[in-house]
Amino acid sequence: GYASLVSEAVGGPSPGDSRPARIEPAVPLSALLDVGDGAEIALAHRTHGYPMRSIAHEIGCAVSTVSRRLARFEAQRAATERV
């Protein structure tokens, strides 16, 4: 119907679609990741919204590795903020 037509025209989700609309980040992932450390991963994931799967693919490791690096970075940052 009309709602579907408008939704498709503006690029939004179709009626009944519960998935959030995908918005492409403005900064390319390759520009955010140099060495793939926790700080870069946090910036790409938390600030720019890149999925861990995309980050893992870009730096050539498993998603679990990205998750561990991010968790370690955030734990270290939280510990230094408490001091």
Residue 57 has pLDDT above 70, yes or no: yes
Residue 32 contacts residue 48 (beta carbons within 8 Å)? yes
Residue 38 contacts residue 74 (beta carbons within 8 Å)? yes
Residue 52 contacts residue 66 (beta carbons within 8 Å)? yes
What pTM was computed for the model?
Answer: 0.68
Rounded CA-CA distance 17/65 in Å is 32
Question: Percent helix, strand, coil in the chain (nearest 5)?
Answer: 60, 0, 40
Q: What local confidence, expressed as pLDDT, does residue 66 receive?
A: 97
Q: What local confidence, expressed as pLDDT, does residue 82 receive?
A: 83
Q: What local confidence, expressed as pLDDT, does residue 33 receive?
A: 96
Burial class (CB in 10 A: 0-12, 13-18, 19+), 50: buried
Q: What local confidence, expressed as pLDDT, does residue 26 receive?
A: 84
Tell me the pLDDT tens digit for each residue of 21-56. Answer: 666 668 999 999 999 999 999 999 999 999 999 999
